[in-house]
Structure formats: structure tokens, C-alpha cells
Structure 1
Amino acid sequence: MFYPDQTSAGFLHARDEHFINVRYVIKKKLLGNRFKEAHPKGLPQKIDQVTGIHASVANFFNNESHLKKLLIGTPNILDSLKSKFQTPKEKASVKLLVRYDTFIDKKDTTTFRFYNAYHLAENLRQHTCVYCNRLYTQTIITENREFVARPTFDHWFPKGDYPLLALSFYNLVPSCSVCNSSIKGSTALSLSKIFHPYLKHQHPRDQMDFRFSFDLEDHTKAEGKLIANNVFSQQSIDTMRLAEMYSVHAEEIRELIYLKKAYSESYLHSLRSILKTPVSNEEIYRLAFGVYVDDDLLYQRPLSKLKKDILTELGLIG
């Protein structure tokens, strides 16, 4: 489970692009021709006004401060907004304005033709699932802008229960389909008890802190295990079923233990000497073991935290 860098230029660009474009769609649906702002990308775009919107819902979406909190407010702000508009008429109005189904429809040629889930995924550039780090979640768009593949977006606050948050940036977590659909699904969770990738609590006891380990040095029999260093981490691991999912990766752990026996320090020095260009220790380890040493880069390859933790315990990474 990773906390993405929310201060990076790429992340901030993804957030701002999401706000600008989704706000435009919602405003056009709500106000129609009365909304005079130009299209954010300068394109001619017809978006029909939606009629019959409940007054309280219309007032909320017409308020720029409320709309900004909804679309790019922090997870804590979304938690305070999630239960608004619970009457049937209010919910129906919200669903007319906040349409996740059209946002993910790559064939849509009207509402979100210029900005959809593929654009958000492309801007975020999340290489692996933030929950499990087992599978790639890269976005594939051809040179002709043909949409091929992207990560699924987990609604941390389930959109079925809280349709108001269906297009909120911090409620759209790029993840693999296993974590999103098979594991988490529409389960309602508590921010104070379970990991949210965009919410790093101030106290260390409420942050993700765990490591992978193993219980035998015999590489033919070794089994992996997860060691949580606080209750918050253990609850998050249990909820996302990480132990069960990683139980199928015993073979990778056994291979690393075998490599420990096969690769001596002299081998690593020899590998450096035969390469034609100077390489750092991090590059040597990546070439030998396929693993990043820098914690900030672990998200780039599947199973990277597993491999780093095991190699550290084996003494191959200091």
C-alpha cells in the first residue's frame, strides 16, 4: 500500500485538470446556455442542460466553494459531504449531474469526449496498484488517441451509497480490478481505521507501516508473511486481504532466498566491472534482482516492496 506523492507536478496537474473539466460539464448540465464560460480546451462542445434538478442540489452545485470541495476536496472533506442529499428526489438529481457511467465510457462523443477516465489515468501515471503492488495499472493510449487500457478507479466511498462523490478526484483511486472489484468492492470503510492512499494521518500509529518477511531459510519451503507495526496497518491488510493475495507469491520469495546463496558480494562487484558504463548501487541491484531500492520508486514495478523487504532481511540490501 503506497501513499502517492501529492506534491509532484504531475499529481497536481491531474487534480487541476480533473476539476476544470468536470466542473465545466456539471455547470453546463445545470445552467445550459446561461453558463457563458468557454470550453476549457477551446473546443466547440454541446452539452444539454438537465431539467428538473432539486432546488437544494442546484444551489449546492451553483456554489463555487461547494463545487470545489466536492471535486477536489480532501478525503476528510468528502467524508463530511458524503451523506448530503439522501432523499430520493435529491439522489435522482445528483445522479443526473454526476454521471460516472459517461465518464468511463470511452465511446462517448458528447459529455466527456474531451476528458474522461482515460485522461485522468494518463495524468496520474500510476504504474502499479496502490493497494497491492501486485499488478500493473498503466494507461495505454495509442498515438492516434485510441483508448486501449487503463486502471480501474476504486471509489473509496462507494458510489452506490454516495453518488454525490462519484466524480470526486480523491474518491477515484487508480487500482487493479482484483483489489477494486474482488476485494474491496462496495464495502463502506472508515478513514480512521483503514488505509486511504490520499490521506496520510499525522500520527505514525495511524499510517501504513508494514513489511514482508519469511519463516524459513530453505528456499524450497519458505513461505511469506506480512508483519504490521501498528493496528491501523493490520486492519488495512486484513480488509484488503493482502496476506491471502501474497500467499500465491511464495515462489518469488524462494527464488530470492536462492539468489542470496548464489549471488555473493564478489558477484555484484564483478557485474559492475563488466558493464561498460558506470552504475550506482541502486542500478546494480535492479539489474541483478529486478528491484528498486528507493522507496519513492517502489510503485513503478509489481512486487517491488515484497522483493525489497525480503532482500533487506537477507542482507543483500543495506
Structure 2
Amino acid sequence: MIYINPNSHKIRKAKFRHREGLVELLYKRIDKINNNFVSDWFTYYVNDYLEELICGQVKDAFKISSRLNAEIANNILLKENAVKIFNYDWFIDKVEKRYCGYDLAKNLEINTCTYCNRNYTNTIITKRGEKITRPQFDHFFDKKRHPFLALSFYNLIPSCSICNSNIKHGIPFHLSTHAHPYLDKSIEEFKFTYDYSKDPYHKNGLRIGTVVEKDWFVYNLLNDLKIEEVYSSHTDLLFDLLKLKQAYSAKYLSILESEVLTGIKVSNSELYRLAFGVFYDEKDFDKRPFSKFKKDILKELNII
């Protein structure tokens, strides 16, 4: 639901640290394989592509992974070792001395769920280094079906537990069917909207929906993540915006600036954030929950 710009400074820096933190560790894990056949197979078929699997572009890493999956399809021993080497549980252990999921989450600095933008996903580490909480990482390509991508940078989508564990859990995503948060800027092109409903399921007599004009991949992503359903549980936010429209028409921001913030210099984006508690610019949507939803509805109401 939120586009993550892979060319932004923080994402490029996070990817660099991901490569630094993982690649050498994985080489060492491969070197410790004590079966000659398995060790040789990884040496000849995996080592040369290890960096691409960890930090390569989404499509390139997927092609390599698909080829390797075909190689191990009929060999249980190779499958077991692939899962062992690229072990996600090992990566997300709360450890202090090596790179782990907390480091990735901290470096990404994405503070709301990439999929729903409803829940905070802050990474919290105490001054003493105690790891408290971080976002979950959804595997866009299911790690069970794609074990070689279990630790791939672009396959680890920071998300909340509801989207990752409760909703998407087990649903296979693919580039030919679903928009990818790092690839598809078209994710930004869908819009939230609303209408009135007599269905008792919808609170306040309101229903929140989405509009996707062209992109079927975006539609599939929103549909499988149940975005309309989960957002329709937040009609109280919509109700407040409708009351705001009723009370102030389209002049709310100008009234706030001229009568409440008199003498205080604020930019348009700062004024917007003070008024609605969210960010205006799309590149900042990940900083506050409901940023995209509120902007879309406020535009529909002609308040902004």
C-alpha cells in the first residue's frame, strides 16, 4: 500500500548494511556444511550468486532462486540445507554480536506497516541494547516455497502482525499477480473513497472503499490484504472528517492558520500535519498511520 523508493538514501544505506551484515556470515555457514556432496553443490551452484540472492534486484534474485529451486526439487538433503543456511528464524533472533532483523528494521526506518499504513511498526532498542520490538517482515515470496529468498533484502517487507500473520499468511504472492512495494510506484495511484451503507456491518452508516482504475496487480494486493474490510472498521475517523467538512466547509486550514496560529510561521505541510496528525507528502506516509487514507478523503471532501 505504501511504495518504498529503493533509490532513497535510507533504503540504499539499509541495503548496503544488509549485504555487509549477511553475505560473509552466510559464506561461513556454507563452509561449515559437513557433507561433501552438499558442500560441493553449494560451492558450485550458490556461492557465486549469494550476493545477488541477498541484495540483488527483485526480478534477478527471483530468477536465480527459481533456478536453484528446480535443482533441489528432488533432493531432500539439499532442500534441508537450503532452509538451514538461509534460516529466517536464525536471522530474527534477538542477538547482540551479529547482524539480525532488528538491525534491518532500524536501518529501514519504516514506522508504519507497508501494507496497511494503519499500525505503527517502530523499532525500539534500549540504551543498553535490549531489543524490545520491531516490525514483522513479510516474505513477499513465501519462504517455504522460496527458501533461497528467505533473507533477501527486497523480499523482507516491514509490516504489522495483522497483515503479515493474520491476513496474508499463506497467500502466495507473485510479480505476475501482485504489486511489489519496492517495484511498483503504481501502488500510490489507488485511492480511498467512501459511501453510505445501511448494512449493520458498517459502523456509523459508512463504508470505506478503494478505487483502482487500471492496475490489476494493485487490485490483487489490496484485495488479498483485505484493505477495504480492515479500513471499514475505522469509520470513526471518516465520520470525524465528514463533521469537519460540515462545520468548516473547505476553509478549515485557512481558519486554523489565521485565527489559531496567528503569528506562528508554519509551512503548508506543517500546517497540514498539525491539523490532521498525518503527513501530506507521499514519501512520508510511512511515518504516521492513516496518512494516505486521510489525504485521499480530505481531497474527496475538497478540504485540501
Query: Please, what TM-score do these two structures have when normalized by structure 2?
Result: 0.88
C-alpha contact (below 8 Å) 1:54/1:93 kept by paired residues: no
Query: Is the contact made by 2:30 and 2:42 (CA closer than 8 Å) also made in structure 1?
Result: no
Secondary structure at the counterpart of residue 167 of structure 2? helix
Q: How does 1:174-189 map to 2 (within 5 A)?
A: 174-189=158-173
Cα deviation, residue 232, structure 1: 2.4
Partner SS for 2:46: helix
Alignment of 1:255-274 (within 5 A): 255-264=240-249, 267-273=252-258, 274=260
SS of equivalent to 2:246: helix
Q: Going by fraction, where is helix more abundant, 1 or 2?
A: 2
Pair 1:89-2:69 in alignment? no
Change (3 A) 1:264 1:307: same
Is it true that 1:306 corresponds to 2:297 in the alignment? no
Gaps of 5+ in 2: 198-202
Gap change, CA 1:116 and 1:198, over 3 Å in 2: same
Amino acid at match of 2:150: A
For residues 242 and 220 of structure 1, the distance between their equivalents in structure 2, rounded to whole angstroms, comes to 18
Equivalent residue letter for 1:68: E
Task: Say if 1:135 and 1:302, in contact at 8 Å, map to a contact too.
Answer: yes
1 CA distance for matches of 2:302 and 2:52? Answer: 47
Does the residue aligned with 1:24 lie in a helix, a strand or coil? Answer: helix
C-alpha deviation, 1:8, in angstroms: 1.7
Find the partner of 2:103 among 113, 119, 138: 119
How many Å apart are 1:282 and its aligned residue? 2.0
CA distance in structure 1 between the partners assigned to 2:129 and 2:39 by the alignment: 38
Q: What residue is the counterpart of 2:200 in the other structure?
A: none
CA shift digits 1:141-187 (9 cap, x unpaired): 11111100000011111111221111111111111111111111132
Q: Give the match's secondary structure for 2:138.
A: strand
Distance 1:267 1:174, change over 3 A: closer
Equivalent residue in structure 1 for 2:92, among 97, 104, 125 = 104
Matched-pair contact (CA < 8 Å) for 2:30–2:39: no
One-letter amino acid matched to 2:3: Y
Residue aligning to 1:40: none
Amino acid at match of 1:73: G
Q: Which amino acid aligns with 1:306?
A: F
Corresponding residue for 1:195?
179
- TM-score, normalised relative to structure 1: 0.85
Q: How many residues align?
A: 290
Instruction: Classify 1:173/1:264 alpha carbon distance in 2 versus 1 (closer, same or farther; 3 Å).
Output: same
User: For residue 212 of structure 1, what is the aligned residue in structure 2?
Assistant: 192
In the alignment, structure 1 segments of 5+ residues that lack a partner are 32-48
Report the Cα distance in structure 2 between the residues aligned to 1:241 and 1:98, rounded to whole angstroms: 30
| CA–CA separation in structure 2 for the residues paired with 1:288 and 1:168 | 39
Residue 59 (structure 2) pairs with residue 76 (structure 1): yes
